[in-house]
Amino acid sequence: MVDQWQPPKNIKLLAGVDEVGRGPLAGDVVAAAVILPAKHSIQGLADSKALTAHQREVLYKEITEQAICYSVARASVAEIDQYNILQSTMMAMRRAAIALKTQPDFVAVDGNRLPTWEYKAEAVVKGDGRVEVISAASIIAKVVRDAEMVAFDAKYPGYGFAKNKGYGTAQHMEALKRLGATPIHRRSFAPVSENLLPEQQLLL
């Protein structure tokens, strides 16, 4: 990793936190928190978006086997629609950190802002490519969320969830106009609200 970020001195347990799913039109936003041992044999940790699906699956197995602890949390579609995506993202990351069985001395969070919590922490811009524990959290969150979207593809066929993971691709937008929104669509997002079927608009 280039431009390696360094935590404050004398930190024994460093957790990394990242989220996946801020931009999609459907599905929860998923966050993960990870504490890795100082000495581990995991090679190739990087921003999950820069890895292939196979690389992520291999790393997911290694991370979950070697981590001191890890957790996965989320904010639901209902919460996203109620509170907005930024607040929901912060909620998911906070939940992930709190859920760690071993609590960290310090938390490194991907991005430019921190959730509201009591942890000593730092937001690290592009941290998923600079900090190993954030990379690990990014990988776990993405593998978990991608698997959920593949399952939703079978439940709600036609939208291409297995391929687009809920992002607004041409196929997804065409399906929204033709089929309307599913229960996992974020109705607070304009591309969804603008394409609700008449009977769905009555439910808002």
| Tens digit of each residue's pLDDT (9 = 90 or more) over 11-63 | 999 999 999 999 999 999 999 999 999 899 999 999 999 999 999 999 999 99
Residue 88 CA from chain centroid, whole number = 11
Residue 128 CA from chain centroid, whole number = 11
pLDDT at residue 200, as a whole number: 72
120, 133, 127: which is closest to 69 by C-alpha? 133
pLDDT at residue 2, as a whole number: 44
**What are the domain boundaries of the chain?**
1-204
pLDDT at residue 202, as a whole number: 54
> Average pLDDT, stretch 62-86?
98
Mean pLDDT of the chain: 94
pLDDT at 106 over 80: yes
State in words which class domain 1-204 has. alpha beta
CA distance 71 to 189: 28
Burial label for 107, CB within 10 Å (0-12, 13-18, 19+), is buried
> Average pLDDT, stretch 98-110?
98
Residue 129 DSSP symbol = G
pLDDT at 204 over 70: no
